[in-house]
Amino acid sequence: MLDMKFIRDNAELVKENCRKKFQFEKVEKVDELIRLDEEYRAMKTKDDDLRSKRNTLSKEIGGLMAKGLREEAEKVKAEVKEIGNELTENEKKENELYENAKAIQMIIPNIIDPSVPIGKDDSENVEIERFGEPVVPDFPIPYHTEIMERFNGVDMDSAGRVAGNGFYYLTGDIARLHSACLSYGRDFMIDQKGFTYCIPPYMIHGNVVTGVMSFAEMDSMMYKIEGEDLYLIGTSEHSMIGRYIGQILPESALPQTMTSYSPCFRKEKGAHGIEERGVYRIHQFEKQEMVVICKPEESMEWFKKLYMNTVEFFRSLDIPVRALECCSGDLADLKTKSVDVEAWSPRQKKYFEVGSCSNLTDCQARRLGIRVNGPDGKKYFPHTLNNTCVAPPRMLIALLENNLQADGSVKIPAPLQKYMGGKTVITPVK
């Protein structure tokens, strides 16, 4: 959420930002917001003057009564009552103007960083750099669920009967490999990057949801608990940032660097192609996340560190990856800059997304009322960032494809072996 004063002082910049994100319908909303804000501030000033006048007159009543000037006192009382009635009506209008303005303010997108490429959708994202040499073996690589089935490692049919499409059972070595990826991701972030490990709540209140994401994201992603003000989290970033709602942090506590584990639940609305079936796009998965709360001047430095952490994690498993800069039209409204990390798929002979790093500047902090007490006593909004370390089972696709051998066995990368009981390879049972 942009600061209202910033919107008033930079209306053309805000409107141009909407155009760059191809959200042309919001351009006129900026003008409407400014008009509502002007009306609200004028009404508030008028009401403040009326309250001041009412207080002054109320004090006069006692003095008049003490002097025995009852008739004059009654006249002042009547005037005070009239002001009170006017205030009652005005406050309704004032609250209505405020709520209408706030509703629009919440949908105005964050200002994108000047480095963000302009484009309509993810087809216009821009490759930044590749890490590792992509390899296509001289034997065919089956679809990822076929590989898993050879190990008796996945059961989509039973999951469909139990929970419907978009769910799965993982079993045996494949389930263990799934857990190994998460355990290694956890230890990688703790031991090698020095982040604090957290396990957050998996449900959050509605005011936290609207604080951490846009309404469009909320509608397309979040599952609501019927009859309660609770939502299942789509990523642990939601509850991790929500942890600080309404808090004032000492500047000495920054940066907050946390790595959090959670299951994630997403509606995943819309139809998807063959490559997004299996366990690629699902309603339930697990993830090791990175979350940083920092000083504004440090957020871009942290942004680069975070997505390079993911690159380093995948390269430690010898999986080729690339970093992809998200274009303006592919950025969610709260994000100022985002980079996707994509892993190499030898079967598809292309890269696919396995992680996403985002800088949201002070947008989430402003919505949630998270502030920092600066050394001069002035309070400011910190910047928040988040990034995926590892999110199986999607990450399993890259791991299995890049480590599949001609005989159908799968090599276990060295960092995962201790989590697999010392196994260096797993062998199919079919």
pLDDT per position as a tens digit, 98-109 = 999 999 999 999
Nearest to 313 by CA among 192, 148, 232: 192
| C-alpha triplet 118, 119, 125: angle, nearest 5° | 100
Other Cβ atoms less than 10 A from the Cβ of 215: the count is 13
* Strands in 295-382 per DSSP E: 321-325, 337-345, 350-359, 371-373, 379-380
pLDDT per position as a tens digit, 334-387 = 999 999 999 999 999 999 999 999 999 999 999 999 999 998 889 999 999 999
Q: Distance between CA atoms of 174 and 168, rounded to whole angstroms?
A: 12
Name residue 263's beta-bridge partners.
Answer: 286
Contact 209, 238 (CB under 8 A): yes
Q: Distance between CA atoms of 7 and 105, rounded to whole angstroms?
A: 9
For residue 273, give the 3-state DSSP assignment: coil
| Domains by residue range for the chain, with CATH | 4-105 (1.10.287.40), 122-426 (3.30.930.10)
Mean pLDDT, residues 16-28:
97
Of the chain, the percentage scoring pLDDT greater than 90 comes to 82
SS3 string of 381-413? CCEEEEEEEECCCHHHHHHHHHHECCCCCEECC
pLDDT per position as a tens digit, 24-51 = 999 999 999 999 999 999 999 998 999 8
pLDDT per position as a tens digit, 265-292 = 999 765 455 555 788 889 999 999 999 9
Q: Distance between CA atoms of 110 and 118, rounded to whole angstroms?
A: 15
SS3 string of 254-272? CCEEEEEEEEEECCCCCCC
What is the pLDDT, as a whole number, of residue 65?
81
pLDDT per position as a tens digit, 111-146 = 999 999 999 999 999 999 999 999 999 999 999 999
Contact 93, 3 (CB under 8 A): no
What is the pLDDT, as a whole number, of residue 275?
53
Token pair 């397309």: residue? 220
Name residue 63's beta-bridge partners.
Answer: none
**Up-side HSE of residue 356: CA atoms within 13 Å toward CB?**
15
Q: Distance between CA atoms of 279 and 175, rounded to whole angstroms?
A: 13
DSSP states of 133-187: -----SS----HHHHHHHTT-EEHHHHHHHT-TT--EE-HHHHHHHHHHHHHHHH
Contact 382, 249 (CB under 8 A): yes
Of the chain, the percentage scoring pLDDT greater than 70 comes to 98
Nearest to 29 by CA among 110, 118, 103: 103
Residue 17 burial class via C-beta count within 10 angstroms: exposed 0-12, middle 13-18, buried 19 and up: buried
The pTM for the full model equals 0.90
What is the pLDDT, as a whole number, of residue 270?
53
What is the pLDDT, as a whole number, of residue 273?
53
Q: Distance between CA atoms of 91 and 97, rounded to whole angstroms?
A: 10
Other Cβ atoms less than 10 A from the Cβ of 256: the count is 18
Contacts of 325 (CB under 8 A, 6+ apart): 115, 116, 117, 125, 126, 127, 128, 338, 339
What is the pLDDT, as a whole number, of residue 271?
47
